Structure 1
Amino acid sequence: MIEVEGLTRKYGAFTAVDDVSFVAEPGRVTGFLGPNGAGKTTTMRVMVGLTPATHGRVTIGGHLYSDIPNPGLHVGVLLDASAQHAGRTGREILTLGATTMGLPKSRVDEMLALVSLSDTEAKRRLRNYSLGMKQRLGIAHALLGDPSVLILDEPANGLDPAGIRWMRGLLKGYAERGGTVLLSSHLLHEVEIIADEMILIGRGKIVAQGSKESLLADADHSSTLVTSLDNDLLGKALQHKGYGVAAAGTGLRVEAAPVDVGRVAADNTIVLTDLRSADGGLEDLFLALTSETQRDVLPEGAQA
């Protein structure tokens, strides 16, 4: 379990993370979502002791990361897939990690096979790896110690569609076996597919958190696009029910859920030729909640 309590990180007058609190539970994939520069990477760096908190704290399994003996056996981390010696081979990088953690060298072969890096690729130097290969190697390194917690920052970067699907299956299986997964991304769709819980952050503040279903249920911007054989009559019937109505193309935009619009049409025997949600679901909610953070922000990782 990861517990973030009142976490704040300031750089002079700039507040990168502002009183952030959340919990990532065992057996679940928690998606940490926000625009570039929203504070995701800074939060994760504080988690693993790379950046000190200004206020608040983060514990993993009830302990500060710095207090965990041989942390690689408990917490797997991937923050920057390129943060290894460019002149070392993939096998050398994993071997050094295994030696540091006191693991047998056979574990290196297991991890290379798990992430589908061939013997030839494992002998290649990191500087000659594609971004996707670096990501696979980084995931292998994070899993090397068979940890109970995974902290991954943008792990899908550079992966092809097959690689992204492989990663989804890997992380879902890890969580199903009781592991805790915290996965950051600015790519909503990818996280939406895999995450059990989502935390939305903008300008260093949590703007929403919960499951996809609960986030959408809490949204108050449900609207519908509808076209009928008698738009004037439908519009009047909807307004009579108290729904906001506006012209939209050849039809109407109604501030109500599609089922409510359909019910009004049925009650008034109005034939509909088109009925659909006007909202983009979670994507629209995400953009609405983080709209002020989509511009004038520091790049992620650049002191933010």
Structure 2
Amino acid sequence: MISVQNLTKRYGAYTAVDDVSFNVRPGAVTGFLGPNGAGKSTCMRMMCSLTPPTSGTATVLDRPYSSLPNPGRHVGVLLDASAQHAGRTGREILTLGAMVMGIDRSRVDEMLDLVGLSESEATRRVRNYSLGMRQRLGIAHALLGDPQVLILDEPANGLDPAGIRWMRGLLRGYADEGGTVLLSSHLLHEVEVVADELVVIGRGRIVAQGTKAELMAATGTTVRTTDDAAFAGLLEGAGLEVKAASTGLTVQAEPQQIGELAARHQVVLIELRTAGSAGLEDMFLELTADDAREEVAA
């Protein structure tokens, strides 16, 4: 389990992380989402005792990371896949990790096989690795000590679609066996498929958190008709909150309520469903709009 309580980090007058609190439970994948620069990496560095907090606490398995004996046996960490020693081979990096943690070197072969690095790739210098290969090596190193907890910062960067799908399956299986996973990303869809719970951060503050089901339910219902403008007026007249979506309308009501209203007024429905992924993405973009670096082209 990971517990973050009132975590704050200031650099002079700039507040990178502002009073952040959340828990990551065993047996679940928690997606830690936010735009670039929102404070995700700073939070994770504080969890791993690499950056001292200005105030607040972060514990892993009920104690600060720095006080864990042989931490690699308890917590697997991948914060920057490019930070590996460029002059060593992948096998050498994992072998050194096994020696430091005091684990059998046969585990190195197991991890290389698990992440799909061939023998020829394992004996190649890391400077000659692609970013995707470095990510696979980093995940192998994080899993080397058979930890109970994984803390992964943007682990899908550089992976191709097949690699991303592989990573999701790996993390899903790890959590299903009781492991604790915190997975950060600035891309919602990257973690939405695998995450059980979501924590959304913007400008260093938590802007939303909960189970994926709870957050998706809060996004409302998508409806399309033969005349969306007219139906929006009927919905608003019934006291419902209505927003125009990329296609159709998003309504803060249950599909049954909307369907019954349409039937009473003989409105032809083309589509009626919970907003789901599209609604969750709209919510994410709206909550983090002030912190996004990219602007929509006019």
TM-score (norm 2): 0.90
Number of the residue aligned with 2:238: 241
Q: 1:248 to 1:5 in 2, by over 3 A?
A: closer
**1:154-202 deviations in Å (ceiling 9; x for gaps):** 1111111111111111111111111100000011012110011100000
Change (3 A) 1:266 1:11: same
Q: What are the Cα deviations for residues 3-50 of structure 1, in whole angstroms up to 9, with x where unaligned? A: 001100011111000000110001111110000000000000011111
1:62 aligned counterpart, secondary structure: coil
- Superposed, 1:186-201 pairs within 5 Å as 186-201=186-201
Native 8 Å contact 1:152 1:184 kept in 2: yes
The answer to whether 1:288 aligns with 2:286 is yes
CA distance in 2, matches of 1:93, 1:44: 23
Aligned residue in 2 for 1:155: 155
Q: In the TM superposition, what is the alpha-carbon distance from 1:225 to its structure 2 partner?
A: 3.5
> Residue 205 of structure 1 aligns with which residue?
205
**8 A contact 1:231–1:252 mirrored in 2:** no
Aligned residue in 1 for 2:120: 120
In the other structure, the counterpart of 1:275 is 271
- 3-state SS, counterpart of residue 10 of structure 1: strand
Alignment of 1:35-54 (within 5 A): 35-54=35-54
| Structure of larger gyration radius | 1
d(CA) in 2 for partners of 1:208 and 1:247?
A: 22
User: How high is the TM-score relative to the length of structure 1?
Assistant: 0.88
Residues 247-277 of structure 1 show CA distances to partners (whole Å, capped at 9, x for unaligned) of: 999x985745454333222113x25153356
Structure 1 residues 156, 245: CA separation in 2 closer, same or farther (over 3 Å shift)?
A: closer
Q: How many residues align?
A: 291
Could you tell me which residue of structure 2 aligns to residue 226 of structure 1? 225
- Specify the SS of the correspondent of 1:163: helix
In structure 2, how many angstroms separate the alpha carbons of the residues matched to 1:128 and 1:148? 31
Return 184-193 or 257-266, whichever deviates more: 257-266
**2:130 matches 1:134:** no
CA RMSD, aligned part only? 2.6
Amino acid at match of 2:238: K
Identity %: 64
Other-structure match for 2:61: 61
